[in-house]
Amino acid sequence: MRLTTAVNAPNRKNFREHHLGHVLLAWYAVFWIFLAIEPIDRHDWFLENILAIGLVIVLVATYRWYPLSDLSYIFLTVFMTLHAIGAHYTYSKVPLGFWMQDWWGFERNHFDRIAHFSFGLLLAYPLRELFLRRVNVRGFWAYYLPISGILALSGCFEIIESWVALLVRPELGEAYLGTQGDEWDAQKDMTVAVLGAFITIMLTYALSKVVSQKSLQVPP
């Protein structure tokens, strides 16, 4: 099976024909159900999953009109898997973050930073694909807009988090925000998200140049 990318993705209209999509959706569904059993904080888990389940519904519902490449769906699934882990434990209590805290002497659990970095790293490519295939952007804008879009989405998410913190019980809002006493938490989260997006877009640019140079070397 050939893995499709943003530049060679077939315009599938029927999800039944997308076998990799079946595997990815089944993986996420089983993993999500497993982590839905006895989460650390059921209320926080519910809040964390509102947008996640909404994204899955949108991706499935719009597949007929806006199918993405295999690579984009893989990136999305990896990020959603990380988010499911964070929602189960709450981001400030994920065991991997505590292990990193003990091993490297960090002052806080940094799993939330990993998730925000992954947000930019893994979602910049699908976002770029949407700009390429649906908005038909090219050149500089095809690389700038995904990074700008990740920054905008990250900022919107931080605003939503602040609203939740104001509307729910203070202790639940703190768990949902996961600031762990850092007053600059939102700004740092957005920074690592943009950094992740920048890395992905720069790698995409470099690979596109390599591919184009190789294609020019092929004799007619």
Q: Give residue-wise pLDDT tens across range 112-161.
A: 999 999 999 999 999 999 999 888 898 999 999 999 999 999 999 888 87
Tokens of 45: 């888990």
Residue 57: count of CB within 10 angstroms of its CB: 10
Beta strands in the chain (DSSP E): none
Q: Give residue-wise pLDDT tens across range 11-46.
A: 666 777 888 999 999 999 999 999 999 999 888 898
Provide Rg for the chain, Cα atoms. Answer: 19
pLDDT confidence tier of residue 218, bands split at 50, 70 and 90: very low
Is 196 inside a domain boundary?
yes
Q: What's the CA gap between 79 and 129, in Å, rounded?
A: 17
Is 9 inside a domain boundary?
no
Is 36 inside a domain boundary?
yes
Is 5 inside a domain boundary?
no
The percentage of residues in the chain with a pLDDT greater than 90, rounded to a whole number, is 50
Q: What's the CA gap between 166 and 164, in Å, rounded?
A: 5
Residue with tokens 């807009």, as numbered in its chain: 145
pTM attached to this predicted model: 0.88
The percentage of residues in the chain with a pLDDT greater than 70, rounded to a whole number, is 85
What domain count does the chain have?
1
Domain of residue 43, residue span? 15-209
Is 1 inside a domain boundary?
no
Q: Is the pLDDT of residue 58 over 90?
A: yes
